[in-house]
Structure 1
Amino acid sequence: MRLPSRIAITILLIISIVGLFLPWFFFSRTEDYSNGWSWMNICMIIGYVGSLVSSAMIFMKKGSVDIEMLNFLCMILIIISCIYEFLTWHVETITGSMNLRISIENTHYGFYVTLISISLAVIVYIYNLMRKRI
């Protein structure tokens, strides 16, 4: 993978980490809100640690195809974890059942910053993979 692509993926990964500290889910900002940090689960932690370590290894020129694939899989794991949290954040404490309308209405910009930036990183990775194959 070329250096500009590696830099873009790393910057998008850092932006997604910044999104963890912004508001994710709340009904009313005056009552209480939760950021992504409070919704971290083991899959998301493994995804972020794996992506950060593999990105560092790629930048140190010790990255192989296996390391790049690990980075890709970790980013996919983060996306899956974000979608899971989006669909289920209100189930245990508020509604008792999955409700897509509640999820959409009460999800805020921090979640979208994280999800969109990590999704763009995956798209950049796939684009470079396809370009390399052609």
Structure 2
Amino acid sequence: MLLFVKVQDRLLEYGVEIVAETLIEGLSRVKRCTDEGRALMSLDLQVLINGLQHFVSMNVKPKLQIVETFVKAYYLPETEYVHWAAAHPEYSKSQIVGLINLVASMKGWKRKTRLETLEKIESAVV
């Protein structure tokens, strides 16, 4: 019985990790989003965390922190994205590029600024 509980807990842990990875991948592919939309994403994430806590014995918040960090990155100042990308190797290059493209589009960055930021990230992350 104890082995079954350990296996069940491990499977639930993997499941929560897959949910986090899937959410980040989806969020990185968003093409248009307002500040209000990002705030709603944060709220939705908190609802998900609270809902999962009702039937998962482990604390799911640390496993989903990676999603919250990604959502909050939208609010960074323009000058912080290169540093942020270097400090967060847990995100793939395509996820970071998606975030930068969204932020640049929604906050009205100049094309040159977006390309320079992506170039700096590319050279810092590689």
TM over 0.5: no
Q: Kindly indicate whether structure 1 or structure 2 has the higher relative contact order, using CA contacts under 8 Å at least 6 residues apart.
A: 1
The TM-score range, normalised by the shorter chain, is 0.3 to 0.5
Larger helix proportion of the pair: 2
